[in-house]
């Protein structure tokens, strides 16, 4: 994160710690960890990477104070704690907005900016006018670093989700530009991982099972090859600088997806007598539908970038027609509704100026 924004973070932490020290004794509450377990205790303070809690031991029934890594907690529970502790401090709410973005809670990030603006309009206006690009760069850099760390740990699908956020919503930043190369490198890793999974599964099969698996693989080979081509087009659309070309690439990917679904319909007839083939067909269908939803959401984000609410809403509707419960589509629906409004005057003005100047989606990251 940038030095200027880092100073805000340090100030917010100091305020939170001071508030915790001066507050009256808090009542015990449920503390939710990210593994789903629940403990009873009291939150004493929240810092950037740690949460200080007081809990009662089961063996001695004594109160002990522990400093626990923030990543151990359920992020949605931790958001609520941070929101409560922010109180009437506009700076704390701005810091929480940045934290929410890093954790994919975009609607909540916007809610925090609204709270901050209500508490201290002058501070938020000054931040947006003077620090807006700098703040975005800091947040984007943090998300990119997190995605790279996930790749190192082998959490490739998680890394892909974070890179998609950068490429669709923060493409103008330096980190957004760098994410193009990282995304392409990630695709190679994903292909290697998929090939290894397939090889490991085949190695475990008996001779008769192996022959049947090879027969199924032969039937699925044309579909898998076309699915790989569609995925490459979708990634090309994500990383394309020109918004018009990006829309076209994503549309081509979706068109291939539609043809693949029809091919699966034909293959499903053969799958009636082969339960294993039926599973493989269902797996491909689910992957294609998930890719189609992503492509529609990514196209919606491009229209949001353009400020075209009508087209953005149409893409969201298409995504929700495929998967009505999709969380990314639901979040995009909120952003699509606001694509043409002036809620965030500075962001709207800034994006429209970039478009008017002919800058591409990744213009801010080019040298």
Q: Are 134 and 126 in contact (CB under 8 A)?
A: no
Residue 244: count other Cβ atoms within 10 Å of its Cβ.
11
Q: Chain-centre distance of CA 155, in angstroms?
A: 14
Query: Per the structure block, which two tokens stand in for 18?
Result: 């001071």
- Provide mean pLDDT across the span 340-357: 54
Confidence band for 216, pLDDT divided at 50, 70 and 90:
confident
**pLDDT tens per residue across span 115-147:** 988 998 888 777 766 666 777 788 788 889 989
Which CATH number does 212-367 carry?
1.25.40
Q: What letter does residue 72 receive in the DSSP assignment? A: G
**Comparing C-alpha atoms, which of 248, 98, 250, 237 is closest to residue 180?**
237
Whole-prediction pTM: 0.64
Average pLDDT score over the chain: 80
The angle formed by the CA atoms of residues 243, 100 and 108, to the nearest 5 degrees, is 85
Residue with tokens 């989700």: 161
Query: Which H or E element spans position 39?
Result: strand 38-46
Asked which of 125-129, 149-153, 307-311, 344-348 is least confident by mean pLDDT, the reply is 344-348
Q: What letter does residue 25 receive in the DSSP assignment? A: P
Asked which of 21-25, 108-112, 224-228, 325-329 is least confident by mean pLDDT, the reply is 21-25
Asked which of 136-150, 198-212, 294-308 is least confident by mean pLDDT, the reply is 198-212
Residue 82 has pLDDT above 60, yes or no: yes
Residue 52 dihedral angles phi and psi, to the nearest 5°: -95, 125
Give pairs for 241-244: CB < 8 Å, separation 24+.
241/360, 241/361, 241/362, 241/363, 241/366, 242/360, 242/361, 243/302, 243/305, 243/306, 243/360, 243/361
**pLDDT tens per residue across span 258-272:** 999 999 998 888 777
pLDDT of residue 357: 59
Q: Are 291 and 230 in contact (CB under 8 A)?
A: yes
Query: Which H or E element spans position 65?
Result: strand 63-69
pLDDT of residue 32: 74
pLDDT of residue 211: 83
Confidence band for 60, pLDDT divided at 50, 70 and 90:
low
């Amino acid at each position: 994160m940038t030095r200027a924004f880092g100073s805000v973070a340090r100030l917010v932490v100091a305020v939170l710690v001071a508030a915790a020290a001066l507050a009256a004794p808090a009542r015990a509450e449920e503390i939710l960890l990210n593994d789903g377990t629940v403990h009873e205790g009291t939150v004493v303070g929240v810092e950037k990477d740690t949460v200080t809690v007081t809990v009662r031991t089961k063996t001695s029934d004594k109160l002990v104070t522990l400093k626990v890594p923030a990543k151990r907690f359920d992020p949605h529970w931790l958001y609520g704690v941070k929101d409560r502790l922010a109180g009437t401090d506009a700076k704390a709410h701005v810091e929480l907005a940045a934290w929410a973005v890093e954790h994919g809670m975009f609607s909540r990030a916007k809610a925090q900016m609204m709270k901050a603006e209500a508490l201290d309009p002058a501070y938020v206006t000054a931040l947006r006018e003077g620090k807006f690009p700098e703040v975005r760069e800091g947040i984007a850099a943090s998300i990119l670093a997190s995605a790279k760390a996930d790749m190192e740990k082998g959490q490739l699908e998680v890394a892909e989700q974070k890179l998609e956020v950068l490429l669709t919503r923060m493409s103008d930043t330096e980190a957004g530009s760098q994410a193009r190369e990282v995304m392409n490198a990630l695709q190679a890793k994903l292909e290697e991982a998929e090939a290894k999974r397939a090889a490991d599964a085949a190695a475990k099969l008996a001779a008769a099972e192996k022959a049947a698996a090879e027969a199924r693989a032969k039937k699925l080979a044309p579909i898998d090859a076309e699915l790989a081509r569609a995925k490459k087009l979708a990634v090309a659309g994500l990383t394309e600088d020109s918004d018009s070309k990006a829309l076209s690439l994503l549309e081509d990917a979706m068109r291939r997806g539609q043809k693949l679904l029809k091919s699966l319909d034909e293959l499903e007839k053969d799958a009636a007598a082969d339960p294993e083939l039926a599973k493989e067909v269902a797996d491909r269908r689910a992957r294609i539908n998930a890719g189609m939803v992503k492509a529609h959401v990514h196209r919606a984000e491009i229209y949001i970038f353009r400020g075209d609410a009508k087209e953005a809403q149409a893409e969201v509707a298409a995504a929700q027609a495929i998967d009505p419960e999709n969380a990314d589509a639901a979040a995009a629906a909120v952003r699509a509704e606001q694509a043409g409004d002036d809620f965030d005057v500075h962001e709207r003005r800034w994006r429209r100026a970039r478009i008017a100047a002919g800058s591409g989606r990744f213009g801010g990251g080019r040298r």
